[in-house]
Structure 1
């Protein structure tokens, strides 16, 4: 039997082949469970015991009347302005905790993350790869994409049902992913990033149109892109051609850049506002969250677009309420802010990728994965 290539060898082979001009995905290291019957995920749910809001200061600044969203905003804001350490795990948890009105427990969430981290470290020792800089990335890749003892023989898969969270915002949650092993382009890279931080493993979130993925450096210091929606390594050229990014947008740095920890935490405020909007609609709290994100992550195109939608919706509502009267100074200021944000979006080379087009892209990616798996199965059976 031919020896299976290691994760390190796969990375090196990828880089060699890319040097000869290949732009499509060339490496597949995922072994999926049989589709003939559905595997039942063991019941290991995050506790629903209510957790009281954590007070970040002697008295939180009141930015919304919802105590959960108010507390979550203040704590993440404290991280960003240096009042407490940046903590991506905690920030992600807070966005979900606020939406669920405190009905998930941080101690339970952290305990499960710690248990997974311990298994990943044991896996590295068992495989004898601890001397490699990318040992943690190797273990994480195996954890997400291949059936093994770390994940209970149930790799993580993409959940095509309501993947944008339009019907149920909790479909996008990391806590939901941990319970079901089914996620999407937010929860999958977010859990990877959380676990990487816990292991002191280098990994970064990166942005594509309507999408997040993972970047990290390989053993030779070259960037590797991990597309967790299908468990593949993807070249920059493939990411560009398949998602329709404009050259201008890439040059302006709104896509494909490795986000630092501060930027990653800052974006959690945008996600906090998205959950808030699901409950209450667009208001000044949504705009506040977006503006705070942009203060620490100025080129967050996803934030700019959400702010655009918020200002436009609020403005239209105020305009209808005028009933022919003259706009107030506050309304004129809001409109000016809307125009500045709109001009910035256009100047950065943003091109809209509709939800329908994104869904079609996902299905194309999934079909390509299944095709390669079928070819792999035929080859191995010969």
Structure 2
């Protein structure tokens, strides 16, 4: 009965913890993102510390350089990007209106399909729209943008705090564990941090290269919206499995403004670029043998359902962390099995030794035998605890 009550309490506590985490899932997501950022810059901090920088100065320098670089890129390309977005939206509206009218007078299946589509947003409809109808949309968009910006600032602040006081935080949460399990938990945590950092550095490098090659290729070929394509491709590089395919579809759509052959060539170029990043760039930062596409897909589905686009971004590094955790647990199981076999052999030899010592039993041998028995018992206890 006592065992049943114990298992019931453990299951109830686990479910309660999951329920609390689900209620604060946005806070948990921001905290996890801050840990990801801190893990990404960890090797650069260690490199600067090895070159006579203090830890605080190294972290401050990296954050200033990173944020300053992003702001500089936005300052140089912000106006150009907004102009391209405006032109792309206007073009999409005109093309959608034209397609809508063509399908209304087209085949029967086109007429059926166009009835399911929303009507085109024309200039006359915009003039007739009441300000009170537009105000909630504008307010909702402003709230969304401010929420994203506030979340990014909070992630940055949390990552700075975590980087500065990492060892103190580690000692705090390790103190909640039994003493015999702290070394295993610490090693597993650091291995997870290393794996996640390597994955994110790999994806960041691929994102920068994808944006650079897509932008330069589109500009050289004289395509429309080169910067928009570069930004979209750079962001899509963080999306596993489908990022390259979606970017190729967008590239085909932009290239087909000139001709179908240009669109097809642009799509092939985009697929070749993402394939090259996958085959040659990624293995230099993240070993392909450590990547499980099945586990990544299984993690993507619930996280996208819970967090939307943010879940799609968080899922791959979270899958990498789970893969490391499973590998660590399996390795610990193998070590326990090997230790148990070795202890069984030692105990068998100990019993053989005690049988031989029974004929010439002296106080010294009795003391030695007792110490050996205590050592075997302690080793068995440590092996079962780990």
Indicate whether the TM-score tops 0.5.
no
Length-normalised TM-score, structure 1? 0.29
Q: Name the one with the larger strand percent.
A: 1
Q: Higher Cα Rg: structure 1 or 2?
A: 2
Length-normalised TM-score, structure 2? 0.29
Q: Name the one with the larger helix percent.
A: 2
